[in-house]
Structure 1
Amino acid sequence: MGFIAFLILGLIAGAIAKLILPGDQAGGWLATLVLGVIGALLGGWIGSALFGVGLEEIWSIQTWIVAIVGSTIVLLIWGFITRGRSRRTV
């Protein structure tokens, strides 16, 4: 998969993971989308290591599943890390 296609996949997977998770994670939508790209990478790595499913084709359902699961995992971890931080309003 090309780099641009991977970025698009990660951005969409991050948005879907944001819709799946209840509550609000610190950082807003931009951080969520960046974490989605990281999560897609993590999902591809875990998918290929455990199940032999990676991020080969952007139109494969397995690619989307591992990217969304990876993004959800990264957003959950981010939520646990930033849970105690207070939000500043300007």
Structure 2
Amino acid sequence: MTIQSILGAIVIGAIIGALGRLFLPGKQAIGWILTIVVGIVAALIGTAIAQNLGVATTPGIDWIELVMQVVLAVVGVALVSAIRGRSGKTRV
């Protein structure tokens, strides 16, 4: 892995994670670093699913892949927020 690919994953993860939090209603009990981590994981899993379905190699912007990544980020943010909320480690 190069520095560019690592930085690219962080930037894309931040965007996907932020979109996941934006589309999830209510207040989430997770910080911005955990949001980026959830976004990176959602982006990687969404890309893998899109490649297995054969929709990741379309010309132009891969909208289906992007939607998959954001949906996975919404689910991930909701799960992490629920787990952190149950453990009593909520942030104000």
Separation of aligned partners in 2, 1:73 and 1:66 = 11
RMSD of aligned residue pairs (Cα, Å):
2.9
Q: Deviations over 1:9-54 (max 9, x none)?
A: 22111101101112233321221122111111121222333x2234
Q: Judge conservation of contact 1:57–1:63 (CA < 8 Å) in 2.
A: no
The correspondence of residues 35-50 of structure 1 with structure 2, limited to 5 A, is 35-49=38-52
Q: Judge conservation of contact 1:13–1:68 (CA < 8 Å) in 2.
A: yes
Residue in 1 aligned with 2:30?
27
TM-score by length of 2: 0.69
| Residues 43/85 of structure 1: CA separation in 2 closer, same or farther (3 Å cut) | same
Percentage identity across paired residues of the two chains: 26
TM-score by length of 1: 0.70
Q: CA deviation at 1:57?
A: 8.3
Residue in 2 aligned with 1:86?
88
Matched pairs, number:
87
Q: CA deviation at 1:87?
A: 3.5
Instruction: Point out where structure 1 has 5 or more consecutive residues left out of the alignment.
Output: none
Instruction: Point out where structure 2 has 5 or more consecutive residues left out of the alignment.
Output: none
